[in-house]
Chains A and B, each alone.
Chain A
Amino acid sequence: MNGLLTGALYALIGMGLALIFGVMRIVNFAHGAFLMVGMYATWLLFDLLKINPYIGFVPAGIFLFGFGQLIYLLLIHPLRNRSHFMQILMTAGIGLILVDAAQLIFHADYRQTNLDLVNRNLHLGPFTANAAEVLSFGIAVALVVGLHFYVTRSLTGQALRAIAQNPEVAPLMGINVGRIQGFSFALGTALAGVAGGLLLPRLYLFPSVGEDFTTKAFVMVVLGGMGSMEGAALGGLVLGLAENFTSLYVGNQWALVVDFVLFLVVLSVKPSGIFGRQRA
């Protein structure tokens, strides 16, 4: 049950990363850092303006969208024809800058939002669930479903998928690849930020809080098949459940180990992912 609740948030993070990878073929090592920025943005809104994080995640997401667009234009777009090697280094560099800038601005102090909601439990038949977690689960599921329809139905969504399928032919069909890529990078960033905002009430906030999520997002995306957003969403759910069962039956400290073992097994047995299509 808890695994499912966490899984939906993971799905959001994983979809953002999958979107960026699918459309741009860039492995975004700054994803966790974007999530951290989203958390700080939501926290600032809470701290200064007393805006509830469950509302604050919206402006935080919008801010992250603009932020992602800016980073794309300044730092990612110039590298569009460079090797994976350089692109990976660039995103790793962006991640380092963001984490250490947060360190510089907010210091390493642990921060927390105290919401009543977090201490309230809901009883659903045989299950007991935390009210805050149920709420963020609902929002995350709505976003994941909405995103799915957006990508499959809307014109922009079709352009996104066209680029993901064939970046050479897409521009011949009249798609502005640069603009769409910028849009998807910004959207992926915003998704990480939103997930950060939704995670805020349940986690302590500190500058390197996102690091685990970068690696987790990779696990989900690899599980679901690189570049497949539906796969990443499923990967998120699988990961949430796997972690939950591990901490329940083996021990909390091994939950992360299971992530990576899962990751390595899938990578070495079926690199295209459990749900992924085979790619040449």
Chain B
Amino acid sequence: MRAFFVTFLNMLKSWKSWVFVAVTVALFLVPGFVDNNYLVQVLFRIALFAALGLAWNIVGGYAGQLSLGHVAFFGVGAYGYALFSELPSMSKWLALLLAALVSVAMAALIGSIAFRLRGPYFTLATIAFAEVLRLVATNLAVTGGAIGLTVTSLFTGRSFWRSFYFAAVTLAVVTFLVNVWVSRSRFGYYLMAIREDEETAGAVGIDTTSCKLQSLLISAFFTALGGALYASAFQFMIPDSILNIDISIQIAIVTMLGGAGTLLGPVVGAMLLLAASEAFKNQFKESHLLIYGILIVGVVLFLPEGIVGGLRRLLQGGKKGKAKPSVNAPVSIPSAPAGGVA
């Protein structure tokens, strides 16, 4: 915790932190200029997916573990919030926190099994866990089965979407700060070492299993908050929508498109992807995931480091002499989702 604040205070010395503060303030002022509920709703989803992408980035980007089961944490957050908030004399905010904690417990369970596996096996195990949850939610009475649940909204009133936008931006900003801390802390360097070469990381004394698990717990906490926010904004959910593997893929793609393992990547990815899918929604109707597919294929083929990662390499290439040796120079390590350390 102390380390967190020390890094944070150190940040205040740099110009980047002032840009960050300015952008944050600007983000909170945006709805003042937008008088269109639909647009605010789109902005809400962009902020939400930026937060989800940033949360995923800790596991998928810095630790390099391709989880395609994050919808499990998202869904547990959503269901947890829906069920806890129904309890008598339960505050909505407490329900939100409890849901996130349940999701962290779930992550501990999933992680303790899935992290015994590597590479494609790990990915498959995360998917399997998420699918088990979806099927269980479809078949249990508590979760309303396939019919689903209605969800108490966190906010009500005329500024409905505006409030949700603020909540999502807050979540994104906090998750961003956690990413900043990860990218500069000893813990974060451990994660990146694991990403580059897990055997070597273990050999130099890093407890790889514990580090990976911790990164998953942090990630699950924020993913669950995002899920709860999502469910409470749309006020209704069924297992096939809230626990759909498509959400896992979207979260991963948002991050990969922008650049996994970079700070700004998930934010850039969320803006681009959601804007694009919104723009093409009318053309493609129910096929709006087509644009996701095309973007995935394009990014994997031509921009393996994502937009932010690619840009950084371009800039660093321009001033070769000065560029400090990147921890994960993408050329030399083909096995890693390359990206910079921001």
Contact with B along A89-101 (1 / 0, CB 8 A): 1101111111111
Cross-chain contact A254 with B124 (CB below 8 angstroms): no
Cross-chain contact A90 with B297 (CB below 8 angstroms): yes
Q: Please tell me which one of the listed residues A93, A219, A254 contacts residue B293 in the complex, with CB atoms under 8 A apart.
A: A93
Q: What would 12 more interface pairs be, CB under 8 Å, given A75-B297, A97-B294, A218-B128? A: A27-B120, A79-B300, A84-B119, A92-B68, A95-B293, A215-B127, A218-B127, A254-B139, A257-B132, A260-B132, A263-B128, A271-B121
**What 7 pairs across the A-B complex have the smallest Cβ distances?**
A93-B296, A96-B293, A97-B293, A100-B290, A100-B287, A27-B120, A104-B287
Q: Tell me the minimal C-beta distance from B249 to chain A in angstroms.
A: 6
Cross-chain contact B66 with A85 (CB below 8 angstroms): yes
Cross-chain contact B284 with A104 (CB below 8 angstroms): yes
Q: Does A108 contact B (CB under 8 A)?
A: yes
18 contacts between A and B (CB under 8 A): A27-B124, A81-B334, A84-B66, A84-B120, A86-B300, A89-B66, A93-B296, A93-B297, A93-B300, A96-B249, A100-B284, A100-B287, A100-B293, A215-B131, A260-B128, A263-B124, A267-B113, A268-B117
Cross-chain contact A103 with B287 (CB below 8 angstroms): yes
Give how many A residues have a beta carbon under 8 Å from the other chain's beta carbons: 43
Expressed in whole angstroms, the Cα–Cα distance for A104 and B285 within the complex equals 8
Q: Please tell me which one of the listed residues A92, A98, A222, A256 contacts residue B124 in the complex, with CB atoms under 8 A apart.
A: A222
Cross-chain contact A100 with B289 (CB below 8 angstroms): yes
Cross-chain contact A261 with B132 (CB below 8 angstroms): yes
Q: Please tell me which one of the listed residues B121, B253, B297 contacts residue A267 in the complex, with CB atoms under 8 A apart.
A: B121
Expressed in whole angstroms, the Cα–Cα distance for A27 and B127 within the complex equals 13
Cross-chain contact B301 with A75 (CB below 8 angstroms): yes
Say whether, besides A257-B132, A268-B116, A88 and B121 are in contact (CB < 8 Å). Answer: no
Residue of B nearest to A264 (CB): B128
Residue of A nearest to B123 (CB): A88
Expressed in whole angstroms, the Cα–Cα distance for A101 and B293 within the complex equals 10
Contact with A along B323-334 (1 / 0, CB 8 A): 000000000001
Cross-chain contact A264 with B290 (CB below 8 angstroms): no
Q: Does B263 contact A (CB under 8 A)?
A: no
Interface centre among B116, B127, B135 (most CB of A within 10 A): B135
B residues neighboring A (CB under 8 Å): 64, 66, 68, 113, 116-117, 119-121, 123-125, 127-129, 131-132, 135-136, 138-139, 245, 249, 252-253, 256, 284, 286-290, 292-297, 300-301, 304, 334-337
Expressed in whole angstroms, the Cα–Cα distance for A13 and B129 within the complex equals 22
- For A97, the chain B residues whose CB sits under 8 A away are 290, 293-294, 297
Expressed in whole angstroms, the Cα–Cα distance for A99 and B300 within the complex equals 19
Number of residue pairs spanning A and B whose beta carbons lie under 8 angstroms apart:
130
Cross-chain contact B289 with A96 (CB below 8 angstroms): yes
Q: Tell me the minimal C-beta distance from A69 to chain B in angstroms.
A: 17
- For B294, the chain A residues whose CB sits under 8 A away are 93, 97
Expressed in whole angstroms, the Cα–Cα distance for A219 and B128 within the complex equals 9
Say whether, besides A27-B120, A100-B287, A267-B124, A253 and B296 are in contact (CB < 8 Å). Answer: no
Q: Tell me the minimal C-beta distance from B288 to chain A in angstroms.
A: 8
Chain A contacts with B in 54-99, Cβ cutoff 8 A? 75, 78-79, 81-86, 88-90, 92-99
- For B121, the chain A residues whose CB sits under 8 A away are 222, 226, 267, 271
- For A89, the chain B residues whose CB sits under 8 A away are 66, 252-253, 256, 296, 300
Expressed in whole angstroms, the Cα–Cα distance for A257 and B136 within the complex equals 7
Cross-chain contact B132 with A264 (CB below 8 angstroms): yes
Residue of B nearest to A251 (CB): B139
Q: Please tell me which one of the listed residues B127, B131, B304 contacts residue A86 in the complex, with CB atoms under 8 A apart.
A: B304
Chain A contacts with B in 14-51, Cβ cutoff 8 A? 27
Expressed in whole angstroms, the Cα–Cα distance for A253 and B145 within the complex equals 11
Expressed in whole angstroms, the Cα–Cα distance for A76 and B272 within the complex equals 25
- For A95, the chain B residues whose CB sits under 8 A away are 293
Chain A contacts with B in 146-188, Cβ cutoff 8 A? none
- For A211, the chain B residues whose CB sits under 8 A away are 245
Cross-chain contact B286 with A103 (CB below 8 angstroms): yes
- For A83, the chain B residues whose CB sits under 8 A away are 334-337
- For B301, the chain A residues whose CB sits under 8 A away are 75, 78-79, 90
Q: Tell me the minimal C-beta distance from B248 to chain A in angstroms.
A: 10
Cross-chain contact B129 with A90 (CB below 8 angstroms): no
Cross-chain contact A96 with B296 (CB below 8 angstroms): yes
- For B123, the chain A residues whose CB sits under 8 A away are 27, 84, 88
Q: Tell me the minimal C-beta distance from A32 to chain B in angstroms.
A: 11
Chain A contacts with B in 230-280, Cβ cutoff 8 A? 253-254, 256-257, 260-261, 263-264, 267-268, 271
Expressed in whole angstroms, the Cα–Cα distance for A240 and B121 within the complex equals 22
Q: Tell me the minimal C-beta distance from A145 to chain B in angstroms.
A: 28
Q: Tell me the minimal C-beta distance from A83 to chain B in angstroms.
A: 5
Expressed in whole angstroms, the Cα–Cα distance for A266 and B253 within the complex equals 29
Residue of A nearest to B112 (CB): A268
Q: Tell me the minimal C-beta distance from A67 to chain B in angstroms.
A: 15
Q: Tell me the minimal C-beta distance from A221 to chain B in angstroms.
A: 9
Cross-chain contact A264 with B337 (CB below 8 angstroms): no
Cross-chain contact A85 with B64 (CB below 8 angstroms): yes
Expressed in whole angstroms, the Cα–Cα distance for A143 and B296 within the complex equals 34
Residue of A nearest to B130 (CB): A260
- For B136, the chain A residues whose CB sits under 8 A away are 257
Cross-chain contact B135 with A260 (CB below 8 angstroms): yes
- For B293, the chain A residues whose CB sits under 8 A away are 93-98, 100
- For A271, the chain B residues whose CB sits under 8 A away are 116-117, 121
Q: Tell me the minimal C-beta distance from B133 to chain A in angstroms.
A: 10
Expressed in whole angstroms, the Cα–Cα distance for A88 and B245 within the complex equals 14
Expressed in whole angstroms, the Cα–Cα distance for A95 and B246 within the complex equals 11
